[in-house]
Amino acid sequence: MSRISKKRLQEFQELIGYKFNNEVLLSKALTHSSYANENSIEKTGSNERLEFLGDAVLELTSSEYLYELYKDKLEGELSKIRASLVCESSLAKSARDIKLGEYILLGKGEESTGGRDRNSITSDAFEAVIGAIYLDGGFANAKEFIHKFLLDNIDTETFFFDSKTILQEELQKRNEEFYYKLISENGPDHLKEFTVAVMIAEKEFTRATGKGKKIAEQEAARLALKKMGRI
């Protein structure tokens, strides 16, 4: 039975910055069901069970993240935002960022039809990797992976209304020049917070802090729109 080589496993671990104690878990996380089927691997040998587990870890981590980020939003709003945040396209984007598709073991059929670039396959594998890290190194390591490759880098316009674009359009109508100014960044790399200000006519209009520069910009723009009575 052929599986992913040790060299390839090591390459991927270097990419994500996490070293597995049990590389069998990572190998399974990278094994698509089509490969398992074609190579007579037992049903539990694909990444589907790890995907199930990773999905639960991702839901808890993203829920905590949004609970802290949007302190004024109620359960219904938070649920909608979370659903968009962890949707297939969002996870697939994060998977592309770590070149996950290049490391997945696929059956010949899936390989020939572009499975490595298919969102459904890469997003499922991303969740499976989360599940594998959780089993291998515990919740803290899985949470760090999720923050590093999804939450801390995501642009909120992908799952919430685009405050930056709305603000830009509004200020263009008023012929007012503006820009975003980075005020500060604090904390360790995996927990860094950014404070950004919206500058209008060279004066600070609003400022916000977020776990990512783009998130801080979106929130500062949202506060600017609120201050201007646009939302």
Say whether 55 is catalytic: yes
Per the residue annotation, which of 38, 55, 59, 88 is the catalytic one?
55
Q: Catalytic residue, from 127, 136, 144, 152: name it.
A: 127
Instruction: Kindly list the strands in the beta sheet with 178-186, ordered across the sheet, starting from the edge strand earlier in the chain.
Output: 178-186, 193-200, 203-210
Annotation marks residue 193 as catalytic: no
Q: Is 215 left (phi over 0), alpha (psi -120 to 50) or beta?
A: alpha
Cα–Cα dist 59/62, whole Å: 5
Sign of CA dihedral 180, 182, 185, 189: positive
Q: How far apart are the C-alpha atoms of 143 and 86, rounded to whole Å?
A: 14
Name the phi and psi angles at 200, rounded to 5. -120, 125
Cα atoms in the 13 Å half-sphere on the side-chain side of 56: 10
Task: Indicate which residues carry an active-site annotation.
Answer: 55, 127
